[in-house]
Amino acid sequence: MHAVMTGLGAVILLAICGLSGFFVIADQGPGDGAEASTTSGYARSIASRQVDARPLSVAEVFPGTAIRMASGADPYRVRATHIDGDCAIAATGATGALLDRHGCSQVVRAAVTAPYGGYRVTVGVFNLSDDVAAIRLAEQVRALVESGDGSFAVMSADSVPGSAPRAEPLSQVGWQERGHFLVYCVIAAPDGQLVRADDRYARRITTDLLESYLGGEILGARASDA
C-alpha cells in the first residue's frame, strides 16, 4: 500500500498497483486505501489510439439502463449518459487543461445509482492518446486533487450535457489507467454526508465500476476484439 497523504481539503488514499487513485475529498484524517487491479495484462491492442482508432460510443460503454455485476444481483441503475468531444466538461479546475494536453479526444460518462446505500455515482472513461499519456495524467491528477486545484465533475441526470461546476465536497473520487484510457468515478452519499475512507459501499462501488465493469468487461472486451 502507498502511504496515506493528506492535502488541503483532501485526504489522499493511494491504492496499490501502479498509479490507480482512490480519494476522499474532505478535511479528514487518514484512512485505509482501496486495492486496485493492475493494467499489466492489457493487450498492446489498446496501448494507443494509433493501434486502437475506433472511437468510444455510449452504446459500447453503457449499452443499457442497468449494470448488473452478477446474475440475480440488484443492478446499478443508469439514470443518464453522455458523450462529448470536449473532455473538460467532465473535469474541474486544472484537470481540464491536463486532459487536453494528453490528447483526450472524448469522454463517455453516466450518472448511476448504486444498488446498495442509494449512493449516487458519476462514472466514465476518457479516451487519451496512448498509455504513457494515461499514466502521466493519473499522476498529475493525483497532485491536483491533493492540492485542491482540480478533480472530476459530478454529472447530474437533471443537467445533461452540462456538469455541476465542482465535485461534491464530501465525495470520493477514484481513477485507474487502462491502456490509452482513464476510467474514473465520483461517489456521493445520498444524505450528503461525508463518504469516509473506510466506507464499505464506496469500496465496493469502486471495485465494481472501475475494475470489474469499465476496466474488465468493457475495455477488456475492446482489447480482445482488436
Tally Cβ neighbours within 10 Å of residue 71.
Answer: 5
pLDDT of residue 160: 54
pLDDT of residue 62: 98
What distance in Å separates the CA atoms of residue 131 and residue 179, rounded to the nearest whole number? 5
Q: Which of 66, 56, 117, 116 is nearest to 87 (CA)?
A: 56
**Secondary structure class of 173 (helix, strand, coil):** strand
Strands of 68-136 (E only): list them.
76-84, 91-93, 106-113, 120-127
What distance in Å separates the CA atoms of residue 104 and residue 38, rounded to the nearest whole number? 22
Round to the nearest angstrom and report the end-to-end CA distance of the chain: 33
pLDDT of residue 161: 54
What distance in Å separates the CA atoms of residue 153 and residue 167, rounded to the nearest whole number? 5
Q: What are the pLDDT digits (tens) for 82-123?
A: 999 999 999 999 999 999 999 999 999 999 999 988 999 999
pLDDT, one tens digit for every residue, the chain (226 residues): 333 332 333 333 333 233 344 444 433 322 222 333 344 445 688 999 999 999 999 999 999 999 999 888 899 999 999 999 999 999 999 999 999 999 999 999 999 999 988 999 999 999 999 999 999 999 999 999 888 899 999 987 665 555 554 445 678 899 999 999 999 999 999 888 888 878 889 999 999 999 999 999 999 999 988 6
Q: Which of 125, 129, 113 is nearest to 84 (CA)?
A: 125
What distance in Å separates the CA atoms of residue 151 and residue 143, rounded to the nearest whole number? 10
For the entire predicted model, the pTM comes to 0.80
